[in-house]
Homo-oligomer: A and B are copies of this chain.
Amino acid sequence: MNARSRPGPLNLITDVGGLLVGNAGDDALKSGVTVLTGDRPFTAAVHVMGGAPGTRETDLLAPDKLVTEVDALVLSGGSAFGLDAAGGVMAGLRAAGRGFAVAGQHVPIVPAAILFDLANGGDKDWTESPYTDLGREALREAGTGFDLGREGAGLGAMTATTMGGLGSASLVLPWGATVGALVAVNALGSATIDGGRHFYSAPWEIGGEFGGLGPAMPSDPAARPVTKADGAAGGGQGASTTIAIVATDAKLSQAQAQRMAIAAHDGMARALVPSHTPLDGDLVFAAATGEVPLSDPVIGALDLGHAAATCLARAIARGVHAARPRPGDLLPCWSDLS
């Protein structure tokens, strides 16, 4: 127990005990897959706010549906083709004897969401979907340590003004629960003000974790910031979507986890402008491992929602901040900006 909230030792979603993250990517394809799994099934929920989502196995996450726990969550590039990644993850989990037991079989429950990275300059001329194998490989790589930036589902991700990336952050609450966020940042808009170096997430930054530049004013607060829909590189209408997972070791019902996912969208709104547009599939999964009792059924849930929102805002900025240039990129990285 600590008097103040603070990031966990890794400042990653894997500070939530029992959760593992694996990434796989292909530099020629300029795309990849990120998987979150656990040493055992965990409670999961989802909240979709974008107008153009791409998902698999999300209907079963509604609190009234039979299944309440999942074996993994998948974030993938590749637009709807990337949904095949969940099949690769399922195959790997099945081989390990994991899955929902029904009629003598085990069916791994693997909800997935995708982002659009088909116009990022990578070689998309495949005849058989590469995402099944990338999903299986990402599962094999799953561990507590992983790199941010051009990794997994964030490998080929772009914002309107810089390359995107894979981001993560965590927070340990005074009453003992840990919260973390994991995100592939492929926003229609931008994570920085006027496409410069100052992050919208600045008010939530802890310890200079994404440059420590502090807040700033946009040059014209009345103007809509540039988006991919305005013809930015790698853009075009629909070439977007930021997909995230927020997780906690707190004990939550599936309905409570769904409310944490809803609250976490506030972090996306604060970190990316614009968010939740008709042209993106912005969504947030929530995961809860159930190890830590809520401090209070109401205050505890409130704390978790706010922590999820701020972790997601920080994770988005950290993903963009960590991105480094690769051959064939259509946009600079944040690290290239002066």
Contacts and interface: CB of A to CB of B under 8 A. Distances in A.
Given A266-B269, A269-B266, A270-B270, A4 B298 contact: no
A92 to B, nearest CB: 36
Contacts of A49: 262, 265
Contact of A51 (B216, B237, B259): B259
A28 B216 CA distance: 43
Contacts of A273: 306
Given A229-B298, A298-B279, A224 B5 contact: yes
A194 to B, nearest CB: 11
A303 B222 contact: no
Given A5-B223, A269-B266, A302 B229 contact: yes
B276 A266 contact: yes
Residues of A in contact with B, size category: 35 or more
Nearest to A220: B4
A6 B221 CA distance: 9
A302 B278 CA distance: 7
A10 interface: no
Nearest to A209: B221
A205 interface: yes
Contacts of A132: none
A305 B217 contact: no
A263 B276 contact: yes
A277 B299 contact: no
Interface of A: 4-7, 49, 51, 171, 188, 193, 200, 202-206, 214-218, 220-225, 227, 229-230, 237, 256, 259, 262-263, 265-267, 269-270, 273-279, 298-299, 301-303, 305-307, 309-310
A274 B302 contact: yes
Given A220-B4, A270-B270, A274-B309, A203 B214 contact: no
A204 B216 contact: no
Given A49-B262, A229-B298, A221 B237 contact: no
A7 B221 CA distance: 11
B193 A221 contact: no
User: Which 5 A-B residue pairings sit nearest by Cβ, starting from the closest?
Assistant: A266-B269, A215-B215, A269-B269, A5-B222, A274-B306
B266 A275 contact: yes
A265 to B, nearest CB: 7
A304 to B, nearest CB: 10
Contacts of A224: 5, 302-303, 306-307
Contacts of A263: 274-277
7 contacts: A203-B218, A224-B307, A225-B306, A227-B302, A266-B276, A269-B309, A279-B298
A15 to B, nearest CB: 14
A204 B221 contact: yes
B298 A222 contact: no
A171 B220 CA distance: 13
A256 B301 CA distance: 32
